[in-house]
Amino acid sequence: MHFTVNDVSKSFGGRPALDRVSFAVGERDFVCLLGPSGCGKTTLLRIVAGLLATDSGSIMLGARDITRMPARERNFGIVFQSYSLFPNMTVAENIGYGMKLRGLPPRAAAARRDELLRLIQLPDEAGKYPAQLSGGQQQRVALARALAVDPALLLLDEPLSALDARVREQMRGEIHQVQRQLGIPTLMVTHDQQEALTLADTIICMNRGRIEQIGTPRQLYMNPATRFVAQFIGASNLLPTSWVREALPTLLSGRPAAPDHHLEACLRPEDVHATAAEDGEGTVRAVTFLGSMIRLVIDWRGRSFTAEQHRDCTLKPGDSVTLDVRPDRSAWVAA
Protein backbone atom coordinates (compact mmCIF):
# COMPACT_ATOMS: atom_id res chain seq x y z
CA MET A 1 0.00 0.00 0.00
CA HIS A 2 1.29 3.46 -0.92
CA PHE A 3 2.62 5.47 2.04
CA THR A 4 3.23 9.22 2.06
CA VAL A 5 4.61 11.85 4.44
CA ASN A 6 3.40 15.39 3.69
CA ASP A 7 5.06 18.57 5.04
CA VAL A 8 5.92 17.06 8.43
CA SER A 9 7.62 19.40 10.91
CA LYS A 10 8.79 18.82 14.47
CA SER A 11 10.55 20.99 17.06
CA PHE A 12 11.99 20.27 20.49
CA GLY A 13 12.22 23.20 22.89
CA GLY A 14 11.78 25.64 20.05
CA ARG A 15 14.58 24.08 17.99
CA PRO A 16 13.46 22.54 14.68
CA ALA A 17 14.26 18.85 14.21
CA LEU A 18 12.25 18.43 10.99
CA ASP A 19 11.31 21.17 8.55
CA ARG A 20 8.42 20.40 6.17
CA VAL A 21 9.60 16.94 5.15
CA SER A 22 7.70 15.19 2.34
CA PHE A 23 8.29 11.87 0.57
CA ALA A 24 6.53 8.68 -0.54
CA VAL A 25 7.16 4.94 -0.21
CA GLY A 26 5.74 2.75 -2.97
CA GLU A 27 4.10 -0.63 -2.47
CA ARG A 28 7.28 -2.73 -2.77
CA ASP A 29 9.93 -0.01 -2.28
CA PHE A 30 12.97 -0.14 -0.03
CA VAL A 31 13.61 3.46 1.03
CA CYS A 32 16.60 4.60 3.13
CA LEU A 33 16.67 7.74 5.25
CA LEU A 34 20.37 8.59 5.08
CA GLY A 35 22.21 11.31 6.94
CA PRO A 36 24.59 12.15 9.79
CA SER A 37 23.70 11.96 13.46
CA GLY A 38 21.29 14.72 14.43
CA CYS A 39 19.87 15.26 10.94
CA GLY A 40 16.34 14.23 12.03
CA LYS A 41 16.07 10.80 10.43
CA THR A 42 15.31 8.87 13.65
CA THR A 43 12.83 11.53 14.76
CA LEU A 44 11.11 11.11 11.40
CA LEU A 45 11.01 7.31 11.75
CA ARG A 46 9.49 7.60 15.23
CA ILE A 47 6.80 9.94 13.89
CA VAL A 48 6.04 7.48 11.08
CA ALA A 49 5.82 4.67 13.64
CA GLY A 50 3.40 6.65 15.82
CA LEU A 51 5.84 6.81 18.73
CA LEU A 52 6.14 10.59 18.45
CA ALA A 53 3.57 13.22 17.50
CA THR A 54 4.19 15.63 14.64
CA ASP A 55 3.77 19.38 15.11
CA SER A 56 2.31 19.79 11.63
CA GLY A 57 1.86 17.89 8.40
CA SER A 58 0.20 14.56 7.71
CA ILE A 59 0.97 10.88 7.26
CA MET A 60 -1.12 8.85 4.83
CA LEU A 61 -1.41 5.10 4.36
CA GLY A 62 -3.14 4.77 1.03
CA ALA A 63 -6.11 7.16 1.23
CA ARG A 64 -6.28 6.95 5.04
CA ASP A 65 -4.90 9.70 7.27
CA ILE A 66 -3.02 8.00 10.13
CA THR A 67 -1.31 11.10 11.53
CA ARG A 68 -3.03 10.84 14.93
CA MET A 69 -3.47 7.06 14.95
CA PRO A 70 -1.81 5.29 17.93
CA ALA A 71 1.24 3.16 17.11
CA ARG A 72 -0.51 -0.09 18.09
CA GLU A 73 -3.20 0.49 15.47
CA ARG A 74 -0.90 1.21 12.53
CA ASN A 75 0.17 -2.39 11.96
CA PHE A 76 3.75 -1.43 11.24
CA GLY A 77 6.65 -3.77 11.97
CA ILE A 78 9.65 -2.16 13.72
CA VAL A 79 13.21 -3.44 14.13
CA PHE A 80 15.41 -1.40 16.48
CA GLN A 81 19.18 -1.10 16.63
CA SER A 82 19.23 -2.85 20.02
CA TYR A 83 17.04 -5.79 18.84
CA SER A 84 14.70 -5.32 21.87
CA LEU A 85 13.95 -9.03 22.14
CA PHE A 86 12.28 -10.27 25.33
CA PRO A 87 15.10 -12.03 27.23
CA ASN A 88 12.75 -14.34 29.14
CA MET A 89 11.04 -15.59 25.96
CA THR A 90 12.34 -18.18 23.53
CA VAL A 91 12.92 -17.41 19.87
CA ALA A 92 9.54 -18.95 19.04
CA GLU A 93 7.78 -16.93 21.74
CA ASN A 94 9.44 -13.69 20.61
CA ILE A 95 8.36 -14.23 17.02
CA GLY A 96 4.86 -15.19 18.09
CA TYR A 97 4.35 -12.31 20.54
CA GLY A 98 2.64 -9.92 18.14
CA MET A 99 0.42 -12.66 16.70
CA LYS A 100 -0.67 -13.62 20.21
CA LEU A 101 -1.61 -10.01 21.01
CA ARG A 102 -3.70 -9.88 17.86
CA GLY A 103 -5.54 -13.07 18.78
CA LEU A 104 -4.33 -15.15 15.85
CA PRO A 105 -5.45 -18.80 16.29
CA PRO A 106 -2.60 -20.93 17.74
CA ARG A 107 -2.38 -23.24 14.73
CA ALA A 108 -2.14 -20.36 12.26
CA ALA A 109 0.38 -18.58 14.50
CA ALA A 110 2.55 -21.69 14.72
CA ALA A 111 2.51 -22.12 10.95
CA ARG A 112 3.49 -18.49 10.43
CA ARG A 113 6.24 -18.74 13.07
CA ASP A 114 7.72 -21.86 11.43
CA GLU A 115 7.56 -20.18 8.01
CA LEU A 116 9.50 -17.19 9.33
CA LEU A 117 12.06 -19.36 11.10
CA ARG A 118 12.82 -20.97 7.76
CA LEU A 119 12.92 -17.58 6.06
CA ILE A 120 15.53 -16.25 8.50
CA GLN A 121 17.44 -19.55 8.34
CA LEU A 122 16.99 -20.42 12.03
CA PRO A 123 14.56 -23.38 11.89
CA ASP A 124 16.38 -25.29 14.65
CA GLU A 125 16.73 -22.40 17.12
CA ALA A 126 13.06 -21.99 18.14
CA GLY A 127 13.63 -23.16 21.72
CA LYS A 128 16.67 -21.01 22.46
CA TYR A 129 16.68 -17.74 24.40
CA PRO A 130 18.16 -14.49 22.99
CA ALA A 131 21.26 -14.72 25.21
CA GLN A 132 22.11 -18.02 23.52
CA LEU A 133 22.22 -16.41 20.06
CA SER A 134 24.83 -14.34 18.25
CA GLY A 135 24.16 -10.69 17.44
CA GLY A 136 23.34 -11.54 13.84
CA GLN A 137 20.93 -14.29 14.90
CA GLN A 138 19.21 -11.95 17.37
CA GLN A 139 18.72 -9.38 14.61
CA ARG A 140 17.19 -12.06 12.38
CA VAL A 141 14.74 -12.94 15.14
CA ALA A 142 13.86 -9.26 15.61
CA LEU A 143 13.20 -9.05 11.87
CA ALA A 144 11.01 -12.16 11.94
CA ARG A 145 9.04 -10.77 14.91
CA ALA A 146 8.39 -7.54 12.95
CA LEU A 147 7.29 -9.52 9.90
CA ALA A 148 5.08 -11.95 11.82
CA VAL A 149 2.11 -9.55 11.93
CA ASP A 150 2.17 -9.07 8.14
CA PRO A 151 2.90 -5.33 8.51
CA ALA A 152 1.69 -2.67 6.10
CA LEU A 153 5.13 -1.04 6.43
CA LEU A 154 8.44 -2.32 7.80
CA LEU A 155 10.52 0.22 9.77
CA LEU A 156 14.21 -0.42 10.41
CA ASP A 157 16.08 1.87 12.82
CA GLU A 158 19.85 1.44 12.26
CA PRO A 159 19.31 -2.33 12.49
CA LEU A 160 22.88 -3.35 11.61
CA SER A 161 25.01 -0.74 13.38
CA ALA A 162 25.69 -2.95 16.43
CA LEU A 163 27.10 -5.80 14.33
CA ASP A 164 30.70 -6.32 13.26
CA ALA A 165 31.63 -5.62 9.64
CA ARG A 166 31.46 -9.20 8.35
CA VAL A 167 28.10 -9.97 9.94
CA ARG A 168 26.74 -6.57 8.92
CA GLU A 169 27.53 -7.27 5.26
CA GLN A 170 25.89 -10.69 5.48
CA MET A 171 22.78 -9.25 7.13
CA ARG A 172 22.47 -6.61 4.42
CA GLY A 173 22.10 -9.35 1.87
CA GLU A 174 19.61 -11.26 3.99
CA ILE A 175 17.42 -8.22 4.71
CA HIS A 176 17.44 -7.35 1.01
CA GLN A 177 16.46 -10.90 0.05
CA VAL A 178 13.64 -11.11 2.62
CA GLN A 179 12.25 -7.70 1.64
CA ARG A 180 12.28 -8.62 -2.05
CA GLN A 181 10.74 -12.01 -1.40
CA LEU A 182 7.88 -10.65 0.71
CA GLY A 183 7.43 -7.37 -1.18
CA ILE A 184 6.83 -5.37 2.00
CA PRO A 185 7.39 -1.59 1.68
CA THR A 186 10.33 -0.72 3.91
CA LEU A 187 11.69 2.49 5.44
CA MET A 188 15.15 2.22 6.98
CA VAL A 189 17.23 4.73 8.92
CA THR A 190 20.99 4.59 8.46
CA HIS A 191 24.06 6.83 8.60
CA ASP A 192 26.05 4.27 6.57
CA GLN A 193 26.26 5.36 2.93
CA GLN A 194 27.39 1.90 1.78
CA GLU A 195 24.35 0.36 3.45
CA ALA A 196 22.02 2.78 1.69
CA LEU A 197 23.69 2.31 -1.70
CA THR A 198 23.48 -1.48 -1.32
CA LEU A 199 19.91 -1.84 -0.08
CA ALA A 200 17.79 1.07 -1.25
CA ASP A 201 15.59 1.54 -4.28
CA THR A 202 15.35 5.16 -3.17
CA ILE A 203 17.61 7.19 -0.88
CA ILE A 204 16.35 10.24 1.01
CA CYS A 205 19.46 12.20 1.98
CA MET A 206 18.81 14.43 5.00
CA ASN A 207 20.72 17.27 6.63
CA ARG A 208 19.67 19.47 9.56
CA GLY A 209 16.05 18.40 9.46
CA ARG A 210 15.58 18.91 5.74
CA ILE A 211 15.74 16.72 2.67
CA GLU A 212 18.74 17.54 0.49
CA GLN A 213 17.90 15.13 -2.34
CA ILE A 214 15.69 12.14 -3.15
CA GLY A 215 16.64 9.64 -5.84
CA THR A 216 18.05 6.24 -6.70
CA PRO A 217 21.50 5.33 -5.33
CA ARG A 218 22.95 5.86 -8.82
CA GLN A 219 21.32 9.29 -9.15
CA LEU A 220 22.63 10.53 -5.81
CA TYR A 221 26.13 9.24 -6.49
CA MET A 222 26.45 10.24 -10.15
CA ASN A 223 24.38 13.43 -10.02
CA PRO A 224 24.42 14.89 -6.49
CA ALA A 225 22.28 18.02 -6.29
CA THR A 226 24.15 19.78 -3.48
CA ARG A 227 27.61 20.05 -1.97
CA PHE A 228 26.38 18.16 1.10
CA VAL A 229 25.18 15.14 -0.92
CA ALA A 230 28.40 15.09 -2.96
CA GLN A 231 30.50 15.00 0.21
CA PHE A 232 28.32 12.68 2.29
CA ILE A 233 27.79 9.98 -0.33
CA GLY A 234 31.24 8.89 -1.43
CA ALA A 235 34.40 10.94 -1.89
CA SER A 236 34.42 13.91 -4.27
CA ASN A 237 36.54 16.66 -5.74
CA LEU A 238 34.55 19.92 -5.56
CA LEU A 239 35.80 22.66 -7.85
CA PRO A 240 34.71 26.33 -7.87
CA THR A 241 33.38 27.56 -11.21
CA SER A 242 36.00 30.32 -11.37
CA TRP A 243 38.81 27.74 -11.13
CA VAL A 244 37.13 25.47 -13.69
CA ARG A 245 36.95 28.34 -16.21
CA GLU A 246 40.71 28.78 -15.99
CA ALA A 247 41.99 25.24 -15.47
CA LEU A 248 39.38 22.76 -16.79
CA PRO A 249 37.10 24.59 -19.24
CA THR A 250 35.99 21.29 -20.82
CA LEU A 251 33.79 20.75 -17.74
CA LEU A 252 31.74 23.86 -18.51
CA SER A 253 29.74 22.19 -21.28
CA GLY A 254 27.33 20.61 -18.83
CA ARG A 255 27.07 23.55 -16.45
CA PRO A 256 23.53 24.80 -15.62
CA ALA A 257 22.72 28.50 -15.94
CA ALA A 258 23.43 30.15 -12.56
CA PRO A 259 25.86 32.65 -11.03
CA ASP A 260 29.37 31.23 -10.64
CA HIS A 261 29.33 31.36 -6.84
CA HIS A 262 26.17 29.20 -6.75
CA LEU A 263 27.72 26.17 -8.46
CA GLU A 264 30.66 23.81 -8.10
CA ALA A 265 31.83 21.00 -10.36
CA CYS A 266 31.94 17.55 -8.77
CA LEU A 267 34.40 14.90 -9.93
CA ARG A 268 34.45 11.49 -8.28
CA PRO A 269 37.97 10.12 -7.53
CA GLU A 270 37.56 7.15 -9.88
CA ASP A 271 37.00 9.59 -12.75
CA VAL A 272 40.37 11.31 -12.19
CA HIS A 273 43.27 9.37 -13.73
CA ALA A 274 46.93 10.06 -12.97
CA THR A 275 49.81 9.04 -15.24
CA ALA A 276 53.52 9.33 -14.42
CA ALA A 277 55.23 12.04 -16.49
CA GLU A 278 58.58 13.77 -15.95
CA ASP A 279 57.17 17.11 -17.02
CA GLY A 280 53.73 16.61 -15.46
CA GLU A 281 51.95 19.55 -13.86
CA GLY A 282 50.85 17.44 -10.90
CA THR A 283 52.72 16.08 -7.87
CA VAL A 284 51.68 13.04 -5.84
CA ARG A 285 51.47 14.03 -2.16
CA ALA A 286 50.05 10.86 -0.56
CA VAL A 287 49.34 7.25 -1.50
CA THR A 288 46.97 5.01 0.48
CA PHE A 289 46.49 1.30 -0.18
CA LEU A 290 42.82 0.35 0.22
CA GLY A 291 42.93 -3.27 -0.90
CA SER A 292 40.97 -3.18 -4.13
CA MET A 293 42.30 0.26 -5.09
CA ILE A 294 44.96 2.89 -4.47
CA ARG A 295 43.91 6.37 -3.31
CA LEU A 296 46.12 9.24 -4.40
CA VAL A 297 46.24 12.84 -3.22
CA ILE A 298 47.68 15.01 -5.98
CA ASP A 299 48.48 18.72 -6.21
CA TRP A 300 47.49 19.92 -9.69
CA ARG A 301 47.04 23.41 -11.07
CA GLY A 302 46.79 24.95 -7.63
CA ARG A 303 44.31 22.48 -6.13
CA SER A 304 44.42 19.19 -4.25
CA PHE A 305 42.77 16.27 -6.03
CA THR A 306 41.80 12.82 -4.82
CA ALA A 307 42.13 10.06 -7.41
CA GLU A 308 41.44 6.33 -7.12
CA GLN A 309 43.22 3.82 -9.35
CA HIS A 310 43.72 0.09 -9.68
CA ARG A 311 45.80 -1.50 -6.95
CA ASP A 312 48.59 -2.20 -9.47
CA CYS A 313 49.31 1.54 -9.56
CA THR A 314 53.02 2.13 -8.75
CA LEU A 315 52.93 5.89 -8.20
CA LYS A 316 54.58 7.13 -5.00
CA PRO A 317 54.78 10.44 -3.10
CA GLY A 318 56.86 13.00 -4.98
CA ASP A 319 56.17 11.59 -8.46
CA SER A 320 55.26 14.02 -11.24
CA VAL A 321 52.03 13.17 -13.04
CA THR A 322 49.57 14.38 -15.62
CA LEU A 323 45.86 14.22 -14.82
CA ASP A 324 43.06 13.19 -17.15
CA VAL A 325 39.44 13.77 -16.17
CA ARG A 326 36.20 12.65 -17.80
CA PRO A 327 33.96 15.64 -18.46
CA ASP A 328 31.00 13.33 -19.19
CA ARG A 329 31.25 11.96 -15.65
CA SER A 330 31.25 15.32 -13.89
CA ALA A 331 28.23 16.86 -12.16
CA TRP A 332 27.36 20.40 -11.08
CA VAL A 333 26.14 20.89 -7.53
CA ALA A 334 24.65 23.77 -5.56
CA ALA A 335 27.48 25.31 -3.57
Instruction: Judge contact between 322 and 274, C-beta under 8 A.
Output: yes
Please count the other Cβ atoms lying within 10 Å of the Cβ belonging to residue 326.
Answer: 14
At residue 254, the pLDDT reads 84
Residue 64 confidence (pLDDT): 94
In the predicted model, residues of the chain with pLDDT beneath 50 are: none
Residues 66-104: pLDDT tens digits? Answer: 999 999 899 999 998 877 899 999 999 999 998 988 888
List the CATH code of the domain at 3-227. 3.40.50.300
pLDDT of residue 167: 84
- Cα(333)–Cα(280) distance, integer angstroms: 29
The confidence score (pLDDT) of residue 199 equals: 94
pTM: 0.92
The per-residue pLDDT for 82 is 79
Would you state the pLDDT for residue 103? 87
Sign of CA dihedral 250, 255, 259, 264: negative
The tens digit of pLDDT for each residue in 292-314 reads 999 999 999 999 999 999 999 99
How much is the pLDDT for 91?
95
Q: Could you give the residue range(s) of every CATH 2.40.50.140 domain in the chain? A: 235-334
Give ranges for CATH 3.40.50.300 in the chain: 3-227
Residues 3 and 153: their CA atoms lie apart, in Å, by 8
Q: What is the pLDDT of residue 159?
A: 86
CB neighbour list of residue 67: distance below 8 Å, 6 or more residues apart? 54, 57, 58, 59
In terms of CATH architecture, what is 235-334? Beta Barrel (2.40)
